[in-house]
Amino acid sequence: MSTSDQAWLESILAAHPRLGQSKIESTQSKAEQAQLNAGDDSQRQVLSQLNDLYEKTFPGLRYIVFVDGRDQAAIMEDMKFRIERQDSVAERNAAIKAMCEIAADRVRSASVEDDD
C-alpha cells in the first residue's frame, strides 16, 4: 500500500465517531449507537475511559465495531480484549472489517427502504 493510500485509509478510520459519544453528526451512526447511551452514568463513564485507553494504545485510530444488535456489555468486553491484545496490525484489520460490515448493513437497509 502506498503512503498516500495508507494516510487516506487512516483518515477514514480516525473519522469514525467515538462509541457512546453524545454528539454524533451522522443520523445513521446515532441510530446504530443508541443502545450504548442507554446505560447509567457509570457505564457511560467506563465507555469513555475505554475510548481514551483505546486511542492511547492505538494512536490515530478510533475503536470501530459493528454495533447494531450488540449490547453495551458485549461492546465493552470486545473493546477491552482488543486493547489488551495490543496488536496494531490486527486492530487496523478489525477496524477495516467493521467499516465494511457497517457499510454492507447500510446498503441492505437502504435497499429495504427502496423496496417499500
Does position 91 have pLDDT exceeding 90, yes or no? yes
- pLDDT tier for residue 12 given thresholds of 50, 70 and 90: confident
What's the predicted TM-score (pTM) here? Answer: 0.76
Taking alpha carbons only, the member of 47, 82, 62 closest to residue 12 is 62
**Please, what is the angle between helix 41-57 and helix 72-85, to 10°?**
20
Set of cell numbers at residue 16: 469514525
Question: Using one digit for the tens of pLDDT, what is the confidence trace for 18-29?
Answer: 877 655 555 665
